[in-house]
Amino acid sequence: MDNNGIKDSSFVPNRIDRDPNVMLGITAPELNAIAWLALPAFTIFAIGGYFVFDSFLRAILVGAFGIMIVLFGALFLLVTIKRNKPPHYILHMKFILLDKLGLKKSPFIYKTERFSATDD
C-alpha cells in the first residue's frame, strides 16, 4: 500500500510463477515424475514377491515395500543432486541434454561463446 492507503497493483511476488516446494526442496512436478517412474517397481517387486512367497497378499506387501524403497531412494538422490543449485536446475539440465543430443533446441543460452548481431 502507498501513503494514501491505495493498494499498489505493480507488486508481484518473485515466486508467483514457480512451482511450490513439496519436500526437501523437491517441487511437485519432480515428485510426480519420481512417482510415475516408481510405478513399474511395484509390478517388478510384486511379481518377484509372488514367486518367492507364493501368496498374493505377501506379493502386494513386497511390491508396496519395493515402491517405497524406490520412491525414497530417488527422492534423496534428487535432493543430493539439487543441493546448493539454482531453482529449476533439473529442468535446465534436461534442456541442455536434449540440445546436446540434437533432439530439441534449448530455450536459453547456456554456452560461453561470443555472440555477434552482425555477420563477420
**12 has a pLDDT exceeding 70:** no
Q: What are the cell numbers at 37?
A: 517412474
107 inside domain: no
DSSP state of 22: E
In a domain, 106, yes or no: no
pLDDT at 52 over 60: yes
Domain limits for position 42: 24-84
Name the 3-class secondary structure at 82. helix
User: Would you say the pTM of this structure is higher than 0.75?
Assistant: no
28-53 vs 56-82: helix axis angle to the nearest 10? 150
Number of domain units in the chain: 1
Is 103 part of a structural domain of the chain?
no
In a domain, 97, yes or no: no
CA angle 96, 99, 101 (to 5 degrees): 110
Tell me the per-residue pLDDT of 61-119, one tens digit each, with 9 for 90 and over. 999 999 999 988 988 888 888 888 876 787 888 888 898 898 988 887 777 777 677 76
